[in-house]
């Protein structure tokens, strides 16, 4: 599926995206979770590749990364697991992780592997705009891989415009300046900021993440944005022995109106 | 500007930059835009110089160690950063950064610390200025370094245990960065070494450059020549070395020798010899040389010296190494401990184990008899007595 499609067609639809860490809770759980999430109705996914020093993450995703690394997850192994991706899962998939892992794999090699297995894009929080533009934009474009930028309440309007110009699938709007997994109130201030972004009429759709954990926060976020991302709240669910059976009710609890 | 200094984009050759998530961008950008301007203000310089003189006790002496010189057959000068208030060079940087934080209007200070030296130096300047201070320290280090934890607490700092990952310096740094992400407006992060996103490596090196600035003057007074043949300093992240090298970088005839910690031996699997074992990578916001697995996971380093126990080096050091301007070598635990004891017996100075690594390299050098050698004695050994006692059985 072309990633741009889900953001364009059926414009009234609110998109639910789920983040989880590859190799957690088990080394080989990556594909099974993706399939189950698609069946349950998730619209697109972010699959995290673990890193030893995830500075943008709170305790839940830190823990999942640590366990995944202990289980033996690596980027080459993840691409092996994803080899059958497009025969089993059709919704858009983004890989999310830290830059050093990509650098060691080779940035071009990374883009090439993404293209080969059918991954649509990447979210690399510590790859800054300047470095992306100078060094890597071309190779991402060459392999048709979208690079997703983050925007926070502190990001200036000028910078947001530039991010919009460099993006080609969606912009990841952080509900607050925070690490992942904080239980945030989407309060008046956040709503004002979402409104400000909405009023900017950016070319790329907005997807809100960080602090989205349930139906209430999902609905609030999608009042202003095309979609919202749930990470830590979902990863927490995976700690359960019966996690596969919990996925469907979790997604349904958020998506049914 | 020398080719070994940072360029306008924040790079030293291919190293440096600001590899940070967007959440840190406004804070880092603010620093990038303002640090040079603030540091050049007259009121800043006046207060900085005054505090260095009256509070830290600068200039630190340059001491010709006669008995040590006789042993090695060269004129060996020790730059006595160990005589600074709080016992190490770390205070030069924290004094500078607290004045910077004040002028940026920040109310809250955070810092990371390994053995606790930078934590103590940060808690000290926060007490001096009456600012809130939170120090992140690995849970394991908190147990190993109880006296420094007590010092920080006495000065009013809150010491928070970093419980993630390996629970040491690298993880304390991660926690401090996470704190900064979650407190984007009122907080300044005082990084203790020449690491982190641009402008930190340059900022910290500038504050530490007082070491080489004084050395040049003192050496000219003592020998009639401001340039020595060799300059030696130990390197963990590399802040004392960055300060010790700073004003000698353009003087290519001066040989710069950076001494890393080899732990139990470079190939023992328990080492912190970053240039020997690492490869190019990104950690804590900058591109540098990093000890890591093939898959890009950061490897936990080992050294008997907690101050050298870091898996990377500052980006300027990576550049000095790669460009060949600096010679990067390593010294094992055993060699360092012997060198520490030797200085104590010959000169009556107990060095920090970090500094002992630089001293130990003298054993491996060959002198003609008349060379001038400057070694940065970055810290005093009081904090290491426990280690010395255990090692030698005193």
Buried b (16+ CB within 10 A) or exposed e, B337-353: bbbbbbbeeebebbbbb
Distance from CA of A244 to the nearest CA of B (A): 27
Query: A169 versus B145: which is more confidently predicted?
Result: A169
Q: Do B18 and A128 touch (CB under 8 A)?
A: yes
Is B263 within 8 Å of B252 (Cβ atoms)?
no
B contact residues 134-193, partner A, Cβ 8 Å cutoff: 164-165, 170-171, 174, 177-178, 181-182, 184-185
Provide DSSP, chain A: --HHHHHHSSTTPPEEEEEEETT-SSTT-HHHHHHHHHHHT--EEEEE---S--TT--HHHHHHHHHHHHHT--HHHHHHHGGGHHHH--S-EEEE--HHHHHHH-HHHHHHHHHHHT--EEE-TTS-HHHIIIIIHHHHHHTT-EEPPEE-TTS-HHHHHHHHHH-SS-EEEESSSS-TT------HHHHHHHHHHHHT--SSPEEEESS--SHHHHHHHHTTSSEEEE-HHHHHHTTSTTHHHHHHHHHHHHH--
**Cβ contact A178–B19 (<8 Å):** no
Q: Do A75 and B296 touch (CB under 8 A)?
A: yes
Per-residue confidence (pLDDT) for residue B1, from 0 to 100: 59
Question: Residue A189: pLDDT above 90?
Answer: no
Q: Cβ-count burial of A256 within 10 angstroms (0-12 exposed, 13-18 middle, 19+ buried)?
A: exposed
CB-closest option in B17, B185, B296 to A100: B296
Cα angle B177, B284, B237; round to 5: 115
Closest Cα in chain A to B182: A178
Residue spans of the domains in chain A: they are 13-255
Confidence of residue A2 (pLDDT cuts 50, 70, 90): low
pLDDT at A176: 85
By the CB < 8 Å criterion, does B21 face chain A?
A: yes
Radius of gyration of the CA atoms of chain B, in A: 19
* Interface contact A44, partner B, CB < 8 A: no
Q: What is the pLDDT along chain B (394 residues), one digit of tens a residue?
A: 589 999 999 999 999 999 999 999 999 999 999 999 999 999 999 999 999 999 999 999 999 999 999 999 999 999 999 999 999 999 999 999 999 999 999 999 999 998 899 999 999 999 999 999 999 999 888 988 889 999 999 999 999 999 887 788 899 999 999 999 999 899 999 999 999 999 999 999 999 999 999 999 999 999 999 999 999 999 999 999 999 999 999 999 999 999 999 999 999 999 999 999 999 999 999 999 999 999 999 999 999 998 898 999 999 999 999 999 999 999 999 999 999 999 999 999 999 999 999 999 999 999 998 999 999 999 999 999 999 999 999 8
Give per-residue pLDDT as tens, A116-157: 999 999 999 999 999 999 999 999 999 999 999 999 999 999
Contact assessment for residue A219 and residue A49, using Cβ atoms and an 8 Å cutoff: no
Q: Is B90 one of the catalytic residues? A: yes
Q: Which residue of A has its CA nearest to B288?
A: A100
What is the arrangement of strands in the sheet containing B326-332, beginning at the earlier edge strand?
B62-64, B75-80, B372-377, B230-234, B255-263, B326-332
Query: What's the gap in Å between the CA of B22 and the closest CA on chain A?
Result: 6
d(CA B331, CA B337): 10
What phi and psi, each to the nearest 5 degrees, are found at residue B132?
-65, 140
The pair of structure tokens assigned to B134 is 């939170």
Give the pLDDT of residue A109: 98
**CB distance from A101 to chain B under 8 Å?**
yes
Considering only residues B31 and A186, tell me which one the structure prediction assigns the higher pLDDT. Answer: B31
Residues of chain B in contact with residue A102, where contact means CB-CB under 8 angstroms, are: 296
Among B19, B284, B296, the residue with its CB nearest the CB of A127 is B19
CATH topology of domain A13-255: TIM Barrel (3.20.20)
| pLDDT tops 90 at residue A246 | yes
**Cβ contact, residue pair A154, B26, below 8 Å:** yes
Rounded distance, CA B372 to CA B394, Å?
34
Cβ distance of B174 and A53 shorter than 8 Å: yes
- The answer to whether A178 contacts B284, with C-beta atoms less than 8 Å apart, is no
Catalytic residue among B81, B112, B214, B354: B112
pLDDT tens across A102-119, in order? 999 999 999 999 999 999
Task: Return the axis-axis angle of helices B117-129 and B146-154, rounded to nearest 10°.
Answer: 10
Decide if B27 contacts B33 (C-beta within 8 A).
no
Which listed residue (B79, B90, B106, B216) is catalytic? Answer: B90
Best mutation target, B22, B112, B195, B198, to test chain A (most A CBs within 10 A) = B22
Q: Where are the domains of chain B?
A: 23-51+90-204, 58-88+209-392
Q: What is the pLDDT of residue A178?
A: 85
Distance from CA of A55 to the nearest CA of B (A): 5
Residue B119 to residue B115: CA distance in whole angstroms: 8
Q: How many CB atoms lie within 10 A of CB B295?
A: 20
Residue B8 at interface with chain A, using a CB cutoff of 8 Å: no
How far does A165 lie from chain B, in Å, by closest CA?
A: 16
Cα B29 to chain centroid distance, Å, stands at 24
User: CB count, 10 Å around CB of B224?
Assistant: 7
Q: What is the CATH number of domain B58-88+209-392?
A: 3.40.50.1100
The answer to whether the Cβ–Cβ distance between A128 and B19 falls below 8 Å is yes
User: Do A52 and B297 make contact, defined as CB atoms within 8 angstroms?
Assistant: yes
Q: In the CATH hierarchy, which fold is given to the domain comprising B23-51+90-204?
A: Rossmann fold (3.40.50)
| Of the partner residues A104, A128, A151, the one whose CB lies closest to the CB of residue B281 | A104
Q: Do B138 and B171 form a contact (C-beta atoms < 8 A)? A: yes
Instruction: State whether residue B127 sits within 8 Å of chain A by CB.
Output: no
Question: Does position A184 have pLDDT exceeding 70, yes or no?
Answer: no
B378 carries an active-site annotation: yes
Question: CA A17, B24, B277, A77: dihedral to nearest 10 degrees?
Answer: 0
Tell me what pLDDT residue B394 has.
Answer: 86
Is B305 noted as a catalytic residue in this protein?
no
Q: Please give the share of chain A, as a percent, with pLDDT higher than 70.
A: 95
Q: CA B31 → CA A182, B8, B24, B48, distances in Å?
A: 27, 14, 11, 18
CB-based contacts of B96: which residues, under 8 Å, 6+ apart? B39, B48, B203, B206, B207
Asked whether the domain spanning B58-88+209-392 has the same topology as the one spanning B23-51+90-204, the reply is yes
């Amino acid at each position: 599926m072309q990633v741009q499609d889900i953001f364009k067609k059926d414009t009234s639809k609110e998109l639910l995206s789920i983040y989880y860490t590859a190799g957690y809770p088990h080394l080989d759980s990556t594909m099974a979770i993706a399939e189950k999430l698609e069946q349950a109705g998730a619209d697109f996914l972010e699959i995290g590749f673990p890193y030893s020093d995830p500075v943008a993450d709170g305790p839940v995703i830190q823990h999942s990364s640590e366990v995944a690394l202990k289980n033996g997850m690596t980027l080459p192994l993840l691409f092996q697991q994803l080899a059958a991706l497009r025969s089993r899962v059709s919704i858009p998939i983004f890989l999310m992780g830290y830059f050093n892992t990509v650098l060691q794999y080779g940035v071009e090699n990374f883009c090439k592997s993404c293209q080969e297995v059918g991954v649509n894009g990447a979210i690399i929080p510590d790859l800054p705009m300047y470095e992306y533009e100078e060094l890597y934009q071309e190779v991402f474009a060459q392999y048709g891989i979208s690079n997703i930028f983050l925007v926070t309440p502190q990001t200036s309007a000028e910078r947001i415009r530039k991010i919009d110009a460099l993006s080609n699938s969606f912009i990841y709007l952080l509900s607050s300046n925070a690490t992942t997994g904080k239980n945030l109130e989407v309060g008046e201030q956040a709503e004002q900021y979402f409104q400000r972004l909405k009023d900017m009429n950016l070319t790329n759709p907005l997807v809100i993440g960080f602090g989205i954990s349930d139906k209430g926060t999902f609905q609030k976020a999608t009042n202003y944005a095309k979609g919202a991302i749930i990470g830590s709240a979902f990863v927490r669910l995976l700690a359960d022995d019966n996690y596969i059976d919990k996925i469907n009710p979790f997604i349904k609890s958020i998506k049914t109106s | 500007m020398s080719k070994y200094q940072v360029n306008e984009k924040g790079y030293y050759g291919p190293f440096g930059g600001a590899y940070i998530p967007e959440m840190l961008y406004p804070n880092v950008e603010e620093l990038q835009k303002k640090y040079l301007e603030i540091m050049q203000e007259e009121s800043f310089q006046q207060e900085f110089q005054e505090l260095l003189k009256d509070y830290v006790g600068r200039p630190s002496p340059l001491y010709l160690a006669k008995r040590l010189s006789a042993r090695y057959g060269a004129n060996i000068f020790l730059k006595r950063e160990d005589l600074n208030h709080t016992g190490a060079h770390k205070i030069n940087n924290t004094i500078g950064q607290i004045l910077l934080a004040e002028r940026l209007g920040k109310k809250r200070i955070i810092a990371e610390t390994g053995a606790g030296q930078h934590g103590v130096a940060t808690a000290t300047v926060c007490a001096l200025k009456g600012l809130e201070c939170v120090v992140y320290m690995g849970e394991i280090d908190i147990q190993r370094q109880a006296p420094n934890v007590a010092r920080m607490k006495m000065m009013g700092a809150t010491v928070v245990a970093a419980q993630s990952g390996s629970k040491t310096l690298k993880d304390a740094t991660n926690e401090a960065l996470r704190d900064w992400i979650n407190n984007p407006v009122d907080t300044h992060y005082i990084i203790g070494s020449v690491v982190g996103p641009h402008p930190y490596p340059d900022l910290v090196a500038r504050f530490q450059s007082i070491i080489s600035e004084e050395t040049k003057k003192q050496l000219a007074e003592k020998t009639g020549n401001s340039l020595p043949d060799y300059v030696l300093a130990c390197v963990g992240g590399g802040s004392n070395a960055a300060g010790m090298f700073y004003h000698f970088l353009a003087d290519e005839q001066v040989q710069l020798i950076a001494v890393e910690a080899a732990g139990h031996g470079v190939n023992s699997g328990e080492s912190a010899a970053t240039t020997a074992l690492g490869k190019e990578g990104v950690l804590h916001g900058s591109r540098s040389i990093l000890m890591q697995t093939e898959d890009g996971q950061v490897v936990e380093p080992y050294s008997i010296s907690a101050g050298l126990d870091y898996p990377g080096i500052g980006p300027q050091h990576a550049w000095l190494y790669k460009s060949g301007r600096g010679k990067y070598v390593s010294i094992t635990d055993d060699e360092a401990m012997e060198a520490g004891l030797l200085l104590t017996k010959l000169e009556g100075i107990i060095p920090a184990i970090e500094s002992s690594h630089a001293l130990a390299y003298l054993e491996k050098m060959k002198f003609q008899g008349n060379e001038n050698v400057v070694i940065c004695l970055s810290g005093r050994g009081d904090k290491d007595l426990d280690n010395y006692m255990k090692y030698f059985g005193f």
